[in-house]
Amino acid sequence: MRALTWHSTRDVRVDTVPDPQIVNPRDAIIEVTATAICGSDLHLYDGVIPGMKPGDILGHEFMGRVVETGPGSTLTPGQRVVVPFTISCGACLFCQLGQFSACDNSNPVETQEASELLYGHAVSGLFGYSHMTGGYPGGQAQYVRVPFSDVGPIVIPEGLADEQVLFLSDILPTGWMAAANADIGPGDTVAVWGCGPVGLFAVQSARLMGAEKVVAIDHHPNRLALARGLGAEVIDYRQTHVLEALMEMSGGLGPDAVIDAVGMESHGFSPDNLLDTVKQKVGVGADRAHALRMALMAVRKGGRVSVPGVYGGFADTFPLGALMEKGLQLRTGQTHVQACSEDLLRRIGEGEIDTTFLISHRLSLEEAPRGYAGFSDNQDQWTKVVLRP
Amino acid sequence: MRPRDTRPDDTFDDGPRDRTRDRTRNGHRDGHRPRTRDLLRDCLPAIGIAAAVAGLALLLPREAHRPPDSAPGRAARRARFGDRVVEGRSVTIAAPRQAVWDRLRDTDRWPDFMETLRDPEHRPDGTLGWTLATPFGHARVVARICREEEGRAIAWVSTDASEVEAEGKVMLRDAPAARGTVIEAHVAYRPPGGLAGHWIARAFGRSPGVQGRQELKRLKMLIETGEIATNSNRRSPAAREA
């Protein structure tokens, strides 16, 4: 089959690789009909996530038709499914608690060692996202082996197009969980850093959860326009002092909740970010945490901080004093996709949520390397790339 | 007895140096009284070394006179107890204790989750044998079950016929809040090559401690999910990669 593979920093190629097979009883093989490049794929593309090996198949946002099932799968060939990017067994303590992205059993034992050393506990398995999260071949391919296919895949009823539901695999539930983690209630003012797909879906979700005012922060005019289209007020940090603006836009209180949808590759010309950039380049495991630092400074006393942005390493000059002295609540984590997928599918079916506005480019799988370059280098115009194998 | 409660047999000797001998070595044996400045200059290296030793002694953990804490011995800061290395791990398995016990007691199926073991054998003398993959090649392990409490504990110890000298124990207890079963395993062994051999094996991910926790995790996967997670896309073992 053809698949998009990682070779080194900013070097991805479409290669011919062996077709996947059923390996474990609960596996299914999916023929991919649509897959997307995620903003977090750019962290792999930029080489800032450890544990990548040349030849790794990327992609964790995908959907398709079931073509083969193991004896333990509950799927049947021919079904259309969206596959969550988190691989979850459904049986361990964490899956039973609904914390699917903390599954104890999906990361192979051999690849658990790295995160056990780096994070204190082994993280769960993810599709196409480095050997730290299992080294699973990803979905930017013609076929994918889906483990625990009786737990993860969301069966899609006929009548809904691929592009309406594809983002149930990651970014829509991630934006939703970001807003849920911010514990948004009616009347709240919410600030969202980053108007990439997750930030935009967080804006959309915050509005649905009753936020009075959502302020979106970015520097790309097109992305800010998309946020405005979802009902947000916007701040362009290239022309405005963000902290000052947020204080004034929230009556001097500060936002009730803040959402960092930027993650480990924060932009912005500031001393902390310049230092972080140097440290990240020399490979000492540093994340560029400028957006999160700002969010902690901006949020009101006793406010809520939600972090859907991906971090992988360490940050210093971190405003721990603000976190403690202001009495903040911090919630974060990979998305528990399976916990909210049914609810979100229903909202899509009823027309309450539309995700197709985000798609800027539709390419074939063969064009995927161009998609990575464009999504990375022209983030203003390239808001979301959907690939068709 | 908890190994942690024993004193290590390799205590550090950081006592005071014999200054008389130093002076003798410094060459003032001719009866002339050295000038104060010369004396100071001569003694400076000795003072420096003494200060360094004293500083080091302050940094070293002081094991004597500390009452034992509640942690299991294998969590102790030192790796070695006499000539043995003790390592271990606990995992919680979301299954009833009897189900975990039944799976554990079937020694013929240990290779299902212990990937370094193969060729299980019931020997005529009642002992059990396996072939064990080690960083230094294959070794034959022969062990006898030395303790068994139905549903609670099983322990084994290698016999004289074994090429690896080790003993191990696995204990089960009900997890709190109906979370299933806590399974706790530890192994004490005499590492080939001593402590250096232990660290080399550990660096290659092949020490009994690393292997033991991976085996417990595989057992947990088998019991909770019915399979062992793999990132392989192909059934053929040759096509698999870690």
The letter for the amino acid at A204 is Q
**Closest to A214 (Cα-Cα) out of A225, A227, A196, A197:** A227
| Residue B60, pLDDT score | 61
The mean pLDDT value for B119-123 works out to 92
| pLDDT score recorded for residue B218 | 97
pLDDT of residue B204: 76
Report DSSP letters for B168-220, one per residue: EEEEEEEPGGG--EEEEEEEEE--TTHHHHHHHHHHTT-SHHHHHHHHHHHHH
Contacts of B235 in chain A (CB under 8 A): 21-23
On average, the pLDDT of chain B sits at 78
At residue B212, the pLDDT reads 87
Asked whether residue B10 carries a pLDDT value surpassing 70, the answer given is: no
Q: Which residues of A touch B218 (CB under 8 A)?
A: 109
Q: Residue A139 in contact with residue A95, Cβ under 8 Å? A: no
Distance from CA of A29 to the nearest CA of B (A): 10
Task: Give chain B positions within 8 Å (CB) of A88.
Answer: none
- CB contacts < 8 Å between A and B, how many? 86
Nearest CA in chain A to B224: A91
Phi/psi for B168 (5° steps) reads: -145, 160
Cβ atoms of residues B53 and B14 within 8 Å: yes
From the list B172, B140, B175, the residue with the least C-alpha distance to B159 is B140
Residues of chain A neighbouring B180 (CB-CB closer than 8 A): 93
Q: How distant, in Å, are the alpha carbons of A12, A148, A383 from that of A359?
A: 21, 29, 6
What pLDDT score does B61 carry?
57
CA distance A152 to A158: 19
The CA distance from B204 to B11, in Å, is 29
Q: Does residue A64 contact residue A142 with C-beta atoms inside 8 Å?
A: no
The pLDDT of residue A211 is 98
CB atoms within 10 A of CB A319: 17
What contacts A189, CB < 8 A, 6 or more positions away? Answer: A211, A212, A213, A214, A215, A249, A250, A253, A255, A256, A257
| Chain B residues whose beta carbon lies within 8 Å of the beta carbon of residue A107 | 229
> Closest Cα of chain B to A312: distance in Å?
21
pLDDT exceeds cutoff 80 at B120: yes
pLDDT at B57: 65
CA distance A329 to chain B (A): 26
**H or E element, residue B84:** strand B84-93
User: With b meaning 16 or more CB within 10 Å and e meaning fewer, what string describes A179-206?
Assistant: bbbbebeeebbbbbbbbbbbbbbbbbbb
| Residue A228: strand, helix, or coil | helix
Report the C-alpha dihedral over residues A374, A376, A377, A383, rounded to 10 degrees.
60
Quick one: pLDDT at residue B26?
Answer: 42
- In this complex, which of A18, A105, A135 lies closest to B221 when CB atoms are compared? A105
Judged by CB atoms closer than 8 Å, whether chains meet at B242 and A22 is answered as no
pLDDT at B122 over 90: yes
Confidence check: pLDDT of B30 > 50: no
B77 to A250, A389, B4, B68, B200: CA distances (angstroms):
52, 54, 10, 13, 18
What is the per-residue pLDDT for A265? 83
B194 CB-near residues (< 8 Å, 6+ apart): none
| pTM of the full structure | 0.85
Q: Do B205 and A145 touch (CB under 8 A)?
A: no
pLDDT in tens, chain A (389 residues): 999 999 999 999 999 999 999 999 999 999 999 999 999 999 999 998 889 999 999 999 999 999 999 999 999 999 999 999 999 999 999 999 999 999 999 999 999 999 999 999 999 999 999 999 999 999 999 999 999 999 999 999 999 999 999 999 999 999 999 999 999 999 999 999 999 999 999 999 999 999 999 999 999 999 999 999 999 999 999 999 999 999 999 999 999 999 999 998 888 778 888 888 888 887 777 889 999 999 999 999 999 999 999 998 889 889 999 999 999 999 999 999 999 999 999 999 999 999 999 999 999 999 999 999 999 999 999 999 999 99
Instruction: Please tell me the distance from the alpha carbon of residue A190 to that of residue A162, in angstroms, as a whole number.
Output: 31
Q: Is the ipTM of this complex over 0.90?
A: yes
| Alpha-carbon separation of residue A356 from A244, A375, A383 (angstroms) | 34, 17, 11
Q: How confident is the model at residue B11 (pLDDT cuts 50, 70, 90)?
A: very low
Token pair in block for residue A39: 């903003």
CA distance A162 to A356: 10
Cα–Cα separations (whole angstroms), residue A144 to A29, A234, A309: 6, 39, 26
Task: State the pLDDT confidence band at B66, using cuts at 50, 70 and 90.
Answer: confident
